[in-house]
């Protein structure tokens, strides 16, 4: 399970981690994302500020933070929570 955008939003971090997983391993990730919803747009600024304030190396959320892993997963499922500002994504590594 990847809960840090420093991992799931970094091609080099994924290149280091994924080879250590078994073929067809189940992968899950969650975190903040930008929202298109009315209330979620209010939260976009808050999450961006929070990420920039807490760590200068943490990527600022975007609308599809799972995109780097999407090409490597079969049956990718994405669920949004908290007015579209949080997500849970999961699938299996392509074999």
pLDDT digits (tens, 9 = 90+) for 37-58: 777 777 777 777 776 777 666 6
- Take residue 13 and report the two structure tokens written for it: 């971090």
Angle at 85 between CA 81 and CA 90, to 5 degrees: 55
Please report the pLDDT score of residue 58 as a whole number: 65
Q: What is the mean pLDDT of residues 28-37?
A: 84
Please report the pLDDT score of residue 59 as a whole number: 66
CB contact set of 64 (below 8 Å; sequence gap of 6+): 33, 70
- Take residue 60 and report the two structure tokens written for it: 């600022």
Q: Which of 29-33, 62-66, 76-80 has the highest mean pLDDT?
A: 76-80
- What is the residue-wise DSSP string for the chain? -B--HHHHT-HHHHHHHGGGSPTT-EEEEEEE----SHHHHHHHHHHHHHHHHH-TTSPPP-S-TTHHHHTTEEEEEEEEETTTTEEEEEEEE--
Q: Which of 21-25, 31-35, 43-47 has the lowest mean pLDDT?
A: 43-47
pTM of this structure: 0.76
Q: For the chain, first and last CA: distance in Å? A: 18
Confidence of residue 73 (pLDDT cuts 50, 70, 90): very high
């Amino acid at each position: 399970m990847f809960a840090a955008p420093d991992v799931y939003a970094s091609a080099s971090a994924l290149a280091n981690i994924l080879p250590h997983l078994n073929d067809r391993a189940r992968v899950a990730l969650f975190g903040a994302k930008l929202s298109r919803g009315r209330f979620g747009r209010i939260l976009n600024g808050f999450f961006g500020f929070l990420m920039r304030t807490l760590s200068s190396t943490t990527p600022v959320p975007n609308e599809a933070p799972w995109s780097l892993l999407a090409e490597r997963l079969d049956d990718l499922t994405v669920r949004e929570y908290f007015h579209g500002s949080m997500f849970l994504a999961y699938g299996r590594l392509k074999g």
